[in-house]
Amino acid sequence: MSKVLAIDYGGKRSGIAITDSLKMIASPLTTIATKEIHDFLKEITEKEDIDTIVIGEAKRFSGEASTIEKSIEPLLGFIKKKFPKIELVRQDESFTSKLALDAMIQGGMKKKQRQEKGNLDKISAAIILQSYLESTNF
């Protein structure tokens, strides 16, 4: 069965999360250097049956697109061209970093682990993915 992949796109690092094959549970997968995201997507789509890629949509409080959105546009074009059969979805990522930090604290993660930016990024991706799953009816 197919899975859904989520990306919390960042200027330096991007967090990645993936569902189980039943598309019920979003789990943090990894954090990668953003400059390596194209190669990562090629590799993971060869290993996993991905039918949807969800990318966080960064907005300001006013509802306007955040400055990182311009950096995401080339990635969107790459995915549409390279993976035309994979559905591409944008999901609001407002407050995911705060929610991820809260989740790490509640989960008992030590301060040193919480300070590792990669942990925050992949948990943020899982929150984006879980929000997407909750908004759809699989």
Q: What one-character DSSP code corresponds to residue 66? A: P
Q: What is the pairing mode between strands 26-33 and 13-19?
A: antiparallel
Q: How far apart are CA 4 and CA 78, in angstroms?
A: 18
Instruction: Give residue 117's pLDDT band: very low, low, confident or very high (50, 70, 90).
Output: low
* 64 vs 105, higher pLDDT: 64
Helix ranges (DSSP H) in 1-138: 37-47, 69-82, 96-106, 111-114, 117-135
Query: What average pLDDT does the structure give for the chain?
Result: 85
**CATH number of the domain enclosing 106:** 3.30.420.140
What pLDDT does residue 52 have? 98
Number of domains in the chain: 1
Domain that holds residue 93: 3-135
Q: How far apart are CA 113 and CA 120, in angstroms?
A: 9
Dihedral sign for Cα 39, 33, 102, 92, please.
negative
Average pLDDT over residues 107-123: 65
Q: Per DSSP, what are the bridge partners of residue 17?
A: 6, 28
Taking 70 as the threshold, does the pLDDT of residue 62 lie above it? no
Give the pLDDT confidence of 42-58 residue by residue, as tens digits: 999 999 999 999 999 87
- Residue 40 corresponds to which tokens in the numbers above? 């990562």
Q: What's the pTM value of the predicted model, to 2 decimals?
A: 0.82
What pLDDT does residue 44 have? 98
Answer for the pair 105, 114: CB distance below 8 angstroms, yes or no. yes
Spell out the residues 6+ positions from residue 73 whose beta carbon is closer than 8 angstroms to its own.
Answer: none
Taking 60 as the threshold, does the pLDDT of residue 101 lie above it? no
